[in-house]
Chain A
Amino acid sequence: DTGVSQNPRHKITKRGQNVTFRCDPISEHNRLYWYRQTLGQGPEFLTYFQNEAQLEKSRLLSDRFSAERPKGSFSTLEIQRTEQGDSAMYLCASSSGPWQETQYFGPGTRLLVL
């Protein structure tokens, strides 16, 4: 399967713990996006990368959130000192860059903070 993959698919953690999610985009895609989706809502943009460069971060992304894409391939999203409000589905998407193309979404990582 050459689609976008995310790991883990589910994560339960206690408040105050750190968590890290991984996203592997479609191999030839140079753009990678992170979104957060809460129940009954549409996805909200968090940040995106063009190759290894992080080009934009949403105001939603507090200092506890950090994302990397060290070699322009896979990306990680880390949340430090998790809070119950961080509970959500974290979606990764990739695209080949030209604006004519759609973004392809991964299956998501569902985070529950107790």
Chain B
Amino acid sequence: ELKVEQNPLFLSMQEGKNYTIYCNYSTTSDRLYWYRQDPGKSLESLFVLLSNGAVKQEGRLMASLDTKARLSTLHITAAVHDLSATYFCAVDWNQGAQKLVFGQGTRLTINP
């Protein structure tokens, strides 16, 4: 059974600082997704990582995938308050069926 673990689960940081969220998974997969969820809202797609070594960047967020280590990271650069949200990673467990297994989520709070 595929397990996806994120850490930290809670993160409070100041504006302007850098930090990294980690996503580990237990079974071989080369497809990993990052989503953002605001309180009471649905999930918004951030990144799709499809191969070992994939790196994608959008604004202050950068995601990478190391399939050999079964690890993805979401790096936040010079955080701003608008990035406060819960971030989920999800792994495609079924080789392209996109049957996603999600991590528990990382609740990020960015303080002025």
Contacts and interface: CB of A to CB of B under 8 A. Distances in A.
B99 A42 contact: no
Interface residues of B, number: 25
B98 A43 contact: no
B45 A42 contact: no
A48 B33 contact: no
Interface in B21-52: 31, 33, 35, 41-45, 48, 50
Nearest to A41: B104
Contact of A42 (B44, B90, B92): B90
Interface of A: 31, 33, 35, 40-45, 48, 55-56, 91, 93, 95, 99-108
Given A41-B105, A102-B33, A55 B41 contact: no
B59 interface: no
B21 to A, nearest CB: 13
A103 B35 CA distance: 10
A103 B33 CA distance: 9
18 contacts: A31-B98, A33-B98, A33-B99, A40-B105, A42-B102, A43-B100, A56-B97, A56-B99, A91-B42, A93-B43, A99-B31, A99-B50, A99-B96, A100-B50, A101-B48, A102-B33, A102-B48, A108-B42
Contact of B42 (A95, A99, A107): A107
The 5 residue pairs across chains A and B that have the minimum distance between CB atoms: A42-B102, A99-B96, A102-B45, A105-B43, A105-B42
Contacts of B102: 42-44
